[in-house]
């Protein structure tokens, strides 16, 4: 891939470790750096992945650096020996820190002719270092939800159960020494651990498409100390009890039933799209942004008041200017000063009251106001302050935090955000995590029946971390839990956001907030007039003016016995002026072909069309493809816009 294409797709020039395909008897697996997975047999994904990870005291996941490797292969399998290290942060090192502070790793992986895999690691800290977790991680695929499992416990017990369908707030299995699961009907596989106890959690809590088994219980003290030069060893084995027959791949086609979306004034049953705006707002709104708002007219603007924001930080006259330009309603999120407490404090009450007075003076009446987290006292107080507004609750963070809320206050709507890089920033994992959203919403509705559900602002980067110190990033690399992700500026980011929108429509979400335009986008937009400065903004130009957003199913035709779940494309439909439009996204790094049955014209936005757009000021980033044919082909991570015939 050329550097120019990489920059346009991913917003940076970071090169990733090459993929290596390994075979151990009937088992095939992909190795990328020090991650192994998915691990498959005859097309069945048995394990989603295996990796040795360190979680620092802020729950960040520093990348493992490869130093050397040696691979031996034959007809029976393979043996891989890897020398690697994980850098240690200065704030985690006890005593004097230097740039060579690291955890040294000697990793050995063996695959045999029967499909067995043996992983071992010897780890040696160069300095006394505090960590929250350090050990092997084994992930089961999301397709294993509801599958039978047999768990071997540290006390010798063996329990029979299932991997959960709904998303449990806390680990369903603890004190584990091994776990067997039925990866296909009647076919079993087993993972066995040594050195310490393990437990299993549902990673859908953090927008991952897997179940994760990890070392060291959450109930144990943390952070804990890795002592300088004290080596320790951990081993892991995976093996098949039975070998399932071949699993054919599905064929992707569009659902032939298309309904007409309703008008923007009657959006009941359809997804409302909003746009996040940022605070503090102490400077005049740029005219180019007001022009975009007047053209887009999103259903609502969404302002989050974080604990660090004071009453004087927000210029409500500027908010009113944006609302008038957009002809939109306003949603306000008021985040509690202390997010660790379940209820509002007196400081929160005083802040909300002062903010309500400032809004009233500017003539700003919010349509929706949320107290985050929720609670009966906060909800009642907000109803008294904003009697004409819908009152919401939830969390400004991720589904995990919402799932662990013990109470609500009878709110009209509940809210949370999605960030797909909490645990991993790997491209395929980010896209596959989109399939976890329906399970989140199904679980949320059972825990909190009654209210509407609002999502966002959601994006690739984490707006804030509920786990403590947040990873820093200059925007040049993919970093888990970072506040900046370079792919937000690339075609990849637009494809992910469209996939998130499609998942929200299919899950019956009532409102979705799209992320705010970044400072870079805003300043470049001012310099270049009405030009779109990112593929995401070009996508917003299409969908934000829609009058309601409708789910559009792309249904893989699964064969009997298949456990493949991930759909490689996403689609949504809306009504624009006098016609229906469809937006499609390829969620993979391979070209994808969609079988199509509807008349219309289509255009695509891909790496080549965006590079042409950058070079020619007056062209469109959407390349006109003419009339729809029986097969629509999309390049890696490309978008497509279809204008349907009447």
Q: pLDDT class for 165, splitting at 50, 70, 90? A: very high
Does residue 263 lie in a domain region? Answer: no
Q: How many domains are contained in the chain? A: 3
d(CA 291, CA 255): 36
373 and 493: one domain? yes
Examine the pLDDT at 266 and tell me if it is beyond 70. Answer: no
pLDDT tens-digit profile of 544-588?
999 889 888 776 543 333 344 467 999 999 988 778 999 999 999
Handedness of CA 607, 611, 614, 619 (dihedral sign): negative
Question: Which residues are CB-neighbours of 458 under 8 A, at least 6 positions away?
Answer: 417, 418, 419, 497, 500, 512, 513, 515
Handedness of CA 569, 572, 578, 579 (dihedral sign): positive
pLDDT tens-digit profile of 471-519?
888 889 999 999 999 999 999 999 999 999 999 999 999 999 999 986 4
> Comparing 50-59, 435-444, 561-570, which segment has the lowest mean pLDDT?
561-570
171 and 319: one domain? no
Does residue 102 lie in a domain region? Answer: yes
198 and 314: one domain? no
598 and 542: one domain? no
398 and 442: one domain? yes
pLDDT at 554: 75
pLDDT at 553: 75
544 and 558: one domain? no
pLDDT at 342: 65
CATH number at residue 527: 3.20.20.80
439 and 508: one domain? yes
CATH number at residue 108: 2.70.98.10
379 and 448: one domain? yes
391 and 539: one domain? yes
41 and 95: one domain? yes
Does residue 13 lie in a domain region? Answer: no
pLDDT at 525: 40
Does residue 627 lie in a domain region? Answer: yes
pLDDT at 356: 95
Asked if residues 207 and 436 have their Cβ atoms less than 8 Å apart, the reply is yes
Examine the pLDDT at 209 and tell me if it is beyond 50. Answer: yes
Angle at which helices 287-296 and 519-527 cross, to 10°: 100
Q: pLDDT class for 375, splitting at 50, 70, 90? A: confident
pLDDT at 253: 57
Quote the mean pLDDT of the chain. 89
pLDDT tens-digit profile of 221-249?
999 999 999 999 999 999 999 888 887 65
Provide, rounded to the nearest whole percent, the portion of the chain with pLDDT above 70. Answer: 92
Domain limits for position 639: 552-644
Residue 250 three-state SS? coil
**Polymer length in residues for the chain:** 646
340 and 366: one domain? yes
> Comparing 371-375, 442-446, 605-609, which segment has the lowest mean pLDDT?
371-375
Does residue 301 lie in a domain region? Answer: yes
pLDDT at 373: 86
pLDDT at 249: 56
Average confidence (pLDDT) over 202-213: 95
pLDDT tens-digit profile of 102-124?
999 999 999 999 999 999 999 99
CB atoms inside a 10 Å sphere around CB 448: 19
153 and 140: one domain? yes
d(CA 298, CA 540): 10
Does residue 257 lie in a domain region? Answer: no
Of 502, 543, 476, 334, the closest CA to residue 418 belongs to: 502
Does residue 37 lie in a domain region? Answer: yes
CATH number at residue 601: 2.60.40.1180
Provide, rounded to the nearest whole percent, the portion of the chain with pLDDT above 90. Answer: 75
Average confidence (pLDDT) over 128-155: 95
Q: 376 vs 426, which has greater pLDDT?
A: 426
Does residue 3 lie in a domain region? Answer: no
pLDDT tens-digit profile of 387-437?
999 999 999 999 999 999 877 778 999 999 999 999 999 999 999 999 999
């Amino acid at each position: 891939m050329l550097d120019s294409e990489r920059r346009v797709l991913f917003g940076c020039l970071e090169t990733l470790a090459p993929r290596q395909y390994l075979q151990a008897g009937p088992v095939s697996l992909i190795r990328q750096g020090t991650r192994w997975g998915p691990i498959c047999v005859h097309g069945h994904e048995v394990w989603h992945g295996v990796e040795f990870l360190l979680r620092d005291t802020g729950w960040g996941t520093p990348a493992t650096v490869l130093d050397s490797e040696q691979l031996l292969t034959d007809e029976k399998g393979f043996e891989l020996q890897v020398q690697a290290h994980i850098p240690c942060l200065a704030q985690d090192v006890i005593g004097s820190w230097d740039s060579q502070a690291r955890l040294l790793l000697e990793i050995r992986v063996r695959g045999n002719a029967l499909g067995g895999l043996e992983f071992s690691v010897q780890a040696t800290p160069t300095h006394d270092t505090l960590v929250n977790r350090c050990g092997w991680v084994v992930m089961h695929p999301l397709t294993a939800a509801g599958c039978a499992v047999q768990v071997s416990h540290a006390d010798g017990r063996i329990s029979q159960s299932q991997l959960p369908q709904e998303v449990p707030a806390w680990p369903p299995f603890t004190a584990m020494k091994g776990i067997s699961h039925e990866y296909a009907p009647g076919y079993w596989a087993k993972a066995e651990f040594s050195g310490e106890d393990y437990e299993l959690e549902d990673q859908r809590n953090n927008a991952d498409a897997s179940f994760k088994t990890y070392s060291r219980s959450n109930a144990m003290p943390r952070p804990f100390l890795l002592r300088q030069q004290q080596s320790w060893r951990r081993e892991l084995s995976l093996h098949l009890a039975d070998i399932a027959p071949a699993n054919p791949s599905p064929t992707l086609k569009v659902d032939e039933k298309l309904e007409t979306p309703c008008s923007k004034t009657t959006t009941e049953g359809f997804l409302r799209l909003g746009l996040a705006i940022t605070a503090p707002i102490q400077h005049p709104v740029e005219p180019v942004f007001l022009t975009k708002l007047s053209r887009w007219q999103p259903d609502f603007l969404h302002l989050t008041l974080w604990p660090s924001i004071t009453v004087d930080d927000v210029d409500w006259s500027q908010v009113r200017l944006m609302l008038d330009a957009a002809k939109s309603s306003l949603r306000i999120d008021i985040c509690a000063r202390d997010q660790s407490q379940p209820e509002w404090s007196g400081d929160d009450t005083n802040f909300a009251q002062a903010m309500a007075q400032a809004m009233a003076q500017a003539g700003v009446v919010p349509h929706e106001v949320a107290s985050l987290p929720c609670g009966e006292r906060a909800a009642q107080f907000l109803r008294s302050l904003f009697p004409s507004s819908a009152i919401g609750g939830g969390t400004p963070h991720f589904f995990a935090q919402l799932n662990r809320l013990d109470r609500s206050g009878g709110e009209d709507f509940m809210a949370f955000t999605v960030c797909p890089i909490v645990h991993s920033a790997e491209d395929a994992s980010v896209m596959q995590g989109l399939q976890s959203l329906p399970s989140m919403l199904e679980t949320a509705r059972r825990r909190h029946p009654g209210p509407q559900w609002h999502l966002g602002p959601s994006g690739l980067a984490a707006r804030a971390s509920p786990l403590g110190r947040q990873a820093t990033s200059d925007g040049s690399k993919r970093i888990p839990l970072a506040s900046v992700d370079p792919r937000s500026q690339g075609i990849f980011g637009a494809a992910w956001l469209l996939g998130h929108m499609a998942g929200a429509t299919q899950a019956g979400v009532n409102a979705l907030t799209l992320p705010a335009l970044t400072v870079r986008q805003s300043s470049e937009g001012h310099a270049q007039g009405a030009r779109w400065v990112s593929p995401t903004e070009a996508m917003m130009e299409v969908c934000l003016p829609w009058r309601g957003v409708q789910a559009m199913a792309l249904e893989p035709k699964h064969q009997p016995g298949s456990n493949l779940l991930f759909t490689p494309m996403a689609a949504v439909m809306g009504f624009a002026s006098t016609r229906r439009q469809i937006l499609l996204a390829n969620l993979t790094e391979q070209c994808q072909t969609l079988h199509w049955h509807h008349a219309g014209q289509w255009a695509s936005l891909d790496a080549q069309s965006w590079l042409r757009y950058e070079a020619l000021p007056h062209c469109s980033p959407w390349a006109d493809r003419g009339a729809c044919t029986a097969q629509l082909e999309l390049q890696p991570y490309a978008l497509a816009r279809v204008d349907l015939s009447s």
